[in-house]
Amino acid sequence: MSLLKKFATVASGTMMSRMLGFAREMFMAAALGTGPVADAFNAAFQFPNTFRRLFAEGAFNTAFVPLFAKEIEANGLQGARDFSSEVFGVLFTVLIGLTILMELSMPLLVSTVIAPGFSSNPEKFELTVGLATIMFPYLMCMSLAAMMSGMLNSLRKYFAAAVAPVFLNIILIGVLAYAWYEGHDGRRVGYALAWGVLAAGIVQLGIVWLAVRRAGVTIKLRMPHFTPNVRRLLWLAFPAAITGGITQINQLIGTAIASGKASTVSSLGYADRVYQLPLGVVGIAVAIVLLPELARALKAGDTKEASNLQNRSVEFTLFLTLPASAALLVMAEPIIRFLYERGQFAADNSTPTVASILAIFALGLPAFVLIKAFTPGYFAREDTRTPMYFAAISVAINLGIALAIFPSMGGPGIAIASAVAGWVNAALLLGVLIKRGHWGGDLPLLTRIPRLIFASAVMAAAIWYVQNTVAAPYLAAGSPIAAKAIALAAIVSGAMLIYFAVAFGTGGASLGVIRRSIRRPKGGKPASPPLSDEF
């Protein structure tokens, strides 16, 4: 399977999840708006979700995957089974202890870490504590699921791990639809959503567990023993967790600061959902596929192939991300109006604030995606500490800027801090890769980037003109939702045609490169038995 096809497999599952995530947020915006229940739910869910990214996706898709891949290469599937069982025993024990500790400490955590600004509102504070207490075990389910997803990715079985997150949105949409049908008040909706999150964690864990069994790996629960392999994993995992979850760390900081102003937490959450679509579909797909591929190339001593993998991944990333960033920047308000402006969200008059936050996030989007493409260059070489230092610098910058400008700017100030921190982190990662000689010079990539930027700028100018002239009556507040949908679909379709025409016409993209990427490499052999990727 070619690199591009692997990206597409992961991206398709992520796309399903993100599109259903839009539907979920549309229901939630109509039911809760940007009121106190929405603030409480978003703050409460952000906490286990951040830990999930830190200790699950962050650690195991960066530290665990290269070690698991090497174990397969060295000792086959039996060695991989033994290694995974060793890790599972330690991880399960740690997660049980962490969950109990966090559950007992939840009031203190909400008042000091999650949402200190809620402390002045006893009802909102109590609701946030209750929702966070219900949802925190979701971390345990998703951490175990992330370990198994890392195993599947190492075995080049991408589909089940990519599609499992879809069920979180399916379950929460069902909860919201039932609550709307029964006429539940906001508080009952909040608690129902919290229980839905926990149920979704159990379902997702079940899906990847079955997929791992089908791939030929049976995980046994053992007493925790700190074997040399486990110690090596833990040595790599802590900095990898910090680095892999840097975006979520910055979001958690933003949420804590934003809790000082009413409606800001939920406004950030609604904007975050929109820009997470290209970030998830492109950035996460690249990171998931690139890491095991780089680890294999470096294990085989093929530095030329490793360099090519990195360059083609960045090229693919920018080809899709730059136009997405430009479109979100100029179309933020029509998009937010179409997605959310109904029910309680419309009553709260939240569109201008959420749209301005989304436009600022769009400026940082290429940086957030490039971070996903650069960090595998470190992790595949088992260097998890250098990216951690850069992540710490990024967190400090984010915190400093957010504290300085939030009092005057509110939610948009949080977005500015996040975007600036993202670009600093991406620049540091690339600079050190080049300095160490781990990033091979690639003239085609360097000549295509300015052309892709030009194509994106031309497309953005065309969008701005059309939406402010011909399409303006159809995108205005109060116009029928069908008219908004048709106008947005027409603008997006036309924008895609313009972007692709300019990108290919100027040489920013090459059909020959795409055709070569789609072809299966000669002599390529899977690292696991030829079982189906489907689940």
Give the pLDDT confidence of 144-155 residue by residue, as tens digits.
888 888 788 777
Higher pLDDT, 438 or 44: 44
Residue closest to 373 by CA, chosen among 445, 310, 442, 294: 310
Helix residue spans in 112-165 (DSSP H): 122-135, 138-154, 159-163
Pairwise pLDDT comparison (388 vs 531), residue with the higher score: 388
* Token pair listed for 357: 């936050």
Q: Read off the pLDDT band of 441 (50, 70, 90).
A: low
Q: Which residues contact 500 (CB under 8 A, 6 or more apart)?
A: 509
Closest-CA residue to 191 (of 252, 129, 141)? 129
pLDDT greater than 50 at residue 204: yes
Query: What does 257-270 look like in DSSP terms, one character per residue?
Result: HHTTSTTHHHHHHH
Q: Extract the tokens encoding 191.
A: 């608690």
> What band does 19 get if pLDDT is binned at 50, 70 and 90?
confident
Tokens coding 477 = 């507040």
Rounded CA separation 416/225 (Å): 45
Where does residue 120 rank: exposed (0-12), middle (13-18), buried (19+ CB within 10 A)?
exposed
Six-digit token string for 344: 């309680």
Q: pTM higher than 0.75 for the full model?
A: no
Give the residue with greater pLDDT, 397 vs 378.
397
Query: How confident is the model at residue 100, as a pLDDT?
Result: 93
Would you state the pLDDT for residue 280?
A: 66
Single out the residue of 57, 20, 53 nearest to residue 149, CA to CA: 57
CA proximity to 269, closest of 478, 461, 43: 43
- At 445-495, the pLDDT tens digits run 788 889 999 999 999 999 999 999 988 898 887 788 889 889 999 999 999
Q: Which residue has the higher pLDDT, 100 or 275?
A: 100
At position 116, the amino acid (one-letter code) is P
Q: Which residues have a Cβ under 8 Å from the Cβ of 183 and sit 6 or more positions away?
A: none
Per-residue pLDDT band at 533 (split at 50, 70, 90) = very low
Average pLDDT over residues 3-28: 68
Best-predicted range by mean pLDDT (29-43, 235-249, 319-333, 434-448): 319-333
- Model confidence pLDDT, tens digit, residues 76-122: 777 778 888 888 888 888 889 989 999 999 999 898 888 888 888 88
| Weakest-pLDDT range from 160-169, 327-336, 414-423 | 160-169
- Is the pLDDT assigned to residue 20 strictly greater than 90? no
Q: At what angle do helices 264-278 and 351-374 cross, to 10 degrees?
A: 50
What is the three-class DSSP state of 330? helix
Query: What confidence tier does 514 reach under pLDDT thresholds 50, 70, 90?
Result: low
**448 touches 396 (CB < 8 A):** no
Q: Establish how many alpha carbons lie within 13 A of residue 201's alpha carbon, considering only the half-sphere containing its beta carbon.
A: 23
- Picking from 469, 454, 464, the residue whose alpha carbon sits closest to that of residue 499 is 454
Share of the chain above pLDDT 70, in %: 82
**Spatial contact of 37 and 185, defined as CB atoms under 8 Å apart:** no
- How confident is the model at residue 292, as a pLDDT? 63
Q: Per-residue DSSP letters for 499-520?
A: HHHHHHHHTSS-HHHHHHHHSP
Asked if residues 246 and 391 have their Cβ atoms less than 8 Å apart, the reply is: yes
Helices within 341-384 (DSSP H only): 343-347, 351-374, 376-379
Q: What is the pLDDT of residue 221?
A: 77
At 241, is the pLDDT very low, low, confident or very high (cuts 50, 70, 90)? low
Tell me the average pLDDT of the chain.
Answer: 80
Query: Which residue's entry shows tokens 């890392």?
Result: 150
Q: Which residue has the tokens 């690292």?
A: 527
Give the pLDDT confidence of 47-87 residue by residue, as tens digits: 777 766 665 555 555 667 777 777 777 777 777 788 888 88
What average pLDDT score do residues 121-134 get?
Answer: 92
pLDDT of residue 523: 41
Angle at which helix 303-340 crosses helix 481-506, to 10 degrees, equals 150
Q: What is the mean pLDDT of residues 155-179?
A: 84
Predicted local distance difference test score (pLDDT) of residue 106: 92
Instruction: Give residue 435's identity as a one-letter amino acid code.
Output: K
Q: Are 456 and 323 in contact (CB under 8 A)?
A: yes
Q: H or E stretch including 280?
A: none
CA distance readout (Å), 155 to 56, 164, 214: 18, 17, 11
